[in-house]
């Protein structure tokens, strides 16, 4: 049974808790720290987005598309559907002569109440551009356009796009493609299963691509990481951990959330990969775990810890704004500082 990583307190009483898995690997893929069953298989969900656009970045037809670093970051996003995200996704579609109707991710309301209210005031309806995966789907379509592939069925698991994605995901995760089971993500795109350790290795390999590929792959990974690091707001948005973590650390730590309690990160200058999975799939506890882990590993300054304290020790309030309790690390696990 995996250890309890997070406590949910009501007053002074432990009301509930979350079990999960943590894996930290170094430059050679050796485990620096772990808690729980790191060979537990799961779907990385949106934490796989950083790998799903490698086929596009490696395509010989990529440059003529004139896609910017902002475009690339948005393709990797699980965003709030704020105007900057919706407009950015539409701009990508314009560059490839496609339209919002070509997106097959589904219609989703913006995450933030203020943006939902603004749509109502403007007498507008949410569209697929507001879907948190609209950038990813625009990137999928960009690859199809670049390679002359059909766009109508771009979400089929047998489409050449996803065959190519699976090839590169398995390469970075250092596993056999046939071992990766295929599921359907929340945005209807194919998603591939992996162990928590494989996901950590995959993120580590974003900082060590020379170990698995040629100079072209190294350049593609550098462009990917630079795009994300330079545009953290596009990756998620207001009041979002991915954005705030990268803003506060100035891109020293590059993270990505995934649905059902997933969080993964790469620390490029240390060539370290991290992956976390909360067993019950609750969203939020993985950020508490990540904050505690980074603190234990000695990877955040006191100032950075203070800026991100709300994610490490989250205060719960009721409808009357009265404090009822908190979400805190369990204290049952301890990682050594990285020298």
Distance between CA atoms of 91 and 70, rounded to whole angstroms? 11
Flag whether 335 is in a domain.
Answer: no
Flag whether 126 is in a domain.
Answer: yes
Flag whether 142 is in a domain.
Answer: yes
The β-bridge partners of 183 are 191
Tens digit of each residue's pLDDT (9 = 90 or more) over 186-236: 999 999 999 999 999 999 999 999 999 999 999 999 999 999 999 999 999
Question: 220: domain range?
Answer: 4-329
Flag whether 339 is in a domain.
Answer: no
User: Closest Cα to residue 264, out of 46, 26, 111, 34?
Assistant: 46
pTM over 0.85: yes
Domain count of the fold of the chain: 1
Check residue 339 and give its pLDDT: 62
Flag whether 334 is in a domain.
Answer: no
- Taking the CB of residue 315, how many other CB atoms lie within 10 A of it? 12
CB 314 within 8 A of CB 284: yes
Residue with tokens 């207001």: 238
Structure tokens at 33: 């720290």
Flag whether 221 is in a domain.
Answer: yes
Flag whether 69 is in a domain.
Answer: yes
Interval 26-53 mean pLDDT: 97
Flag whether 130 is in a domain.
Answer: yes
CATH number at residue 315: 3.40.710
Which pLDDT band holds residue 332 (cuts at 50, 70, 90)?
A: confident
């Amino acid at each position: 049974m995996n250890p309890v990583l997070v406590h949910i307190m009501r007053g002074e009483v432990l009301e509930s808790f979350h079990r999960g898995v943590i894996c930290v690997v170094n430059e050679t893929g050796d485990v620096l720290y772990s808690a729980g069953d790191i060979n537990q298989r799961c779907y990385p969900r949106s934490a796989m987005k950083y790998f799903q656009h490698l086929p596009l970045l490696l395509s010989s037809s990529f440059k003529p598309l004139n896609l910017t670093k902002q475009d690339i970051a948005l393709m990797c996003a699980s965003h709030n559907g704020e105007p900057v995200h919706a407009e950015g996704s539409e701009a990508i579609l314009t560059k490839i002569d496609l339209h919002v109707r070509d997106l097959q991710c589904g219609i989703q309301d913006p995450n933030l109440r203020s943006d939902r209210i603004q749509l109502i005031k403007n007498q507008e309806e949410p569209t697929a551009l507001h879907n948190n995966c609209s950038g990813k789907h625009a990137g999928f379509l960009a690859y199809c356009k670049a390679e002359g592939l059909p766009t109508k069925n771009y979400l089929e698991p047998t489409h050449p796009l996803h065959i190519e994605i699976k090839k590169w995901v398995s390469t970075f995760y250092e596993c056999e493609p046939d071992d990766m089971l295929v599921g359907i993500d929340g945005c209807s795109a194919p998603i591939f299963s992996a162990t928590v350790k494989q996901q950590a290795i995959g993120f580590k390999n974003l900082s060590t691509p020379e170990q698995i590929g040629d100079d072209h792959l190294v350049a593609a990974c550098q462009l990917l990481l630079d795009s994300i690091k330079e545009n953290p707001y596009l990756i998620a948005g207001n009041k979002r951990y991915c954005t705030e973590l990268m803003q506060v650390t100035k891109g020293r730590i590059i993270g990505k959330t995934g649905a059902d309690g997933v969080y993964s990160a790469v620390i490029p200058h240390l060539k370290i990969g991290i992956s976390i999975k909360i067993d019950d799939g609750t969203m939020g506890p993985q950020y508490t775990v990540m904050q505690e882990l980074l603190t234990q590993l000695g990877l955040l300054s006191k100032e950075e810890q203070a800026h991100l304290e709300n994610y490490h020790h989250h205060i719960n309030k009721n409808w009357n704004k009265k404090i009822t309790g908190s979400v805190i690390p369990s204290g049952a696990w301890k990682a050594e500082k990285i020298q």
